[in-house]
Amino acid sequence: MADLKLSETRDLTRIERIGAHSHIRGLGLDSALEPRAVSEGMVGQTSARKAAGIILQMIKEGRIAGRAVLIAGQPGTGKTAIAMGMAKSLGLETPFAMISASEIFSLEMSKTEALMQSFRKAIAVRIKEETEVIEGEVVEIQIDRPAVAGAALKTGKLTMKTTEMEGVYDLGAKMIESLGKEKVQSGDVIAIDKPSGKVTKLGRSFSRSRDYDAIGPQVRFVQCPGGELQKRKEIVHCVTLHEIDVINSRTQGFLALFTGDTGEIRAEVREQIDTKVAEWREEGKAEIVPGVLFIDEVHMLDIECFSFLNRALENEMAPILAVATNRGITTIRGTNYKSPHGIPIDLLDRLLIITTQPYTKDEIHKILDIRCQEEDVEIAEEAKALLTHIGVETSLRYAIHLITAAALACQKRKGKVVENEDITRVYNLFLDVKRSTQYLMEYQEQYMFSEASIGDGDEDGTSAKLS
């Protein structure tokens, strides 16, 4: 374990559950952290967004590692949306791990191991490394054609220059392939990482900006570098502690990062990694970037998990913990005790609590409007008003679900714009919670294990009228 293996692999589970919140692009705050009424896909919920913004600022300043936030509110009031907004505002360098509390219960690993892995997904290590690079403007790439096609490996020469010098390098088959892949041509400014041979195109040299009539909008012009062609450069890698754990756990290997099949990671592996990271920090080679671990439906955790969280938050390298729940006063799992949100009081006491409020009709209308745009559904004003009314009477989530279904109904009748008739059609096809409960109350004796006393009911439950 003298040299820990590192990889730049990004965690794939990050994009999980993004569908429902794909319209959220941030918290919609201005530079003074004041929430704009509608911005970055976010509507209303201003005080909760403002509070989340302050937490975010603290995270960015690295001030509240090891603290925890609870987002509490009724179902569908945007708790997960706010967490997504926080994630989007943090940027790629700060890790954001998101799980639903029920995900930690599996036969493959213990609950606390699953929680530990989630914690370590939310802490990144920024490692600085010095490496040799060749950086300059490409003057010429000359590839020798072998006499007989395919007879020998290709070779060639690469001429590069800086503002002060010019150099010629021999090219092997691998380098020729890398240059081809990056579509490098003369006039490009490139950097070649010497140990790995990785080629990076930095842009086109300003001196060539008039060479072409048509240059695509993506072309970036850069100055021809000065100084030596070959120089030492500092490169920064950002990896999560979990990624380092998995790569260094002998039984797993880094492919497990893609399959998610990491199994349990031995405590000794983690200890060695922590010691090594501490050494790197002391030598100034690495720094810790505490991110955010978001646990949705936190009431699903049990008393052992809560006690683990209490302890884990005290660790020096702990991330910010954000949890969300829609439960009121309820039993703490694994005990017979009741507590607010099903969270033990001692943990609750450590949490900064943000509450979300139910939406007004206008806010629901605006959210539905944004969702229609996001799902690329054209909808008539009248139909949108009907959908808003349904949202107010049932729930925001149910109304959001009807958008795609209504668009399909519209397509089926070869329409272009969703009208009232499409909304009514899908409203009658799919029940919301209220109507479904009503239906159950009426026909419960025909279901298995019904807890209601069996009375005289209609034999054929399917004959119910849903409209």
Ligand X SMILES: Nc1ncnc2c1ncn2[C@@H]1O[C@H](COP(=O)(O)OP(=O)(O)OP(=O)(O)O)[C@@H](O)[C@H]1O
| Residue closer to ligand X, measured from CB, 119 or 398 | 398
For residue 278, give both structure tokens: 């501490």
For residue 275, give both structure tokens: 């010691």
| Residue closer to ligand X, measured from CB, 200 or 326 | 326
Q: Which residues contact 213 (CB under 8 A, 6 or more apart)?
A: none
User: Shortest Cβ contact with ligand X: which residue?
Assistant: 78
SS3 content of the chain, % helix, strand, coil (to 5): 40, 25, 40
The CB-of-138 to ligand X minimum distance in angstroms stands at 47
Dihedral pair phi/psi, residue 33, rounded to 5°: 65, 20
Q: Which of 146, 377, 125 is nearest to 238 (CA)?
A: 125
The CB-of-391 to ligand X minimum distance in angstroms stands at 10
The CB-of-397 to ligand X minimum distance in angstroms stands at 5
Q: How many residues does the chain have?
A: 467
The CB-of-340 to ligand X minimum distance in angstroms stands at 15
215-233 as b/e: b if 16+ CB within 10 A: eeeeeeeeebbeeebbeee
For residue 200, give both structure tokens: 């990076």
| Residue closer to ligand X, measured from CB, 72 or 257 | 72
| Residue closer to ligand X, measured from CB, 20 or 408 | 20
| Residue closer to ligand X, measured from CB, 326 or 424 | 326
Partner residues linked to 129 by β-bridges: 235
- Residue 226 half-sphere exposure toward CB, CA atoms < 13 A: 0
The CB-of-325 to ligand X minimum distance in angstroms stands at 7
| Residue closer to ligand X, measured from CB, 21 or 208 | 21
For residue 130, give both structure tokens: 């010095």
- Residue 317 half-sphere exposure toward CB, CA atoms < 13 A: 22
Contact residues for ligand X, defined by CB under 6 A:
20-21, 24, 41-45, 73, 75-81, 326, 367, 396-397, 400
The CB-of-388 to ligand X minimum distance in angstroms stands at 13
The CB-of-297 to ligand X minimum distance in angstroms stands at 7
For residue 425, give both structure tokens: 């059609």
Quote the CA–CA distance of 202 and 200 in Å, as a whole number: 6
| Residue closer to ligand X, measured from CB, 265 or 364 | 364
Using DSSP bridges, classify how beta strands 221-222 and 199-205 pair: parallel, antiparallel or unpaired.
parallel
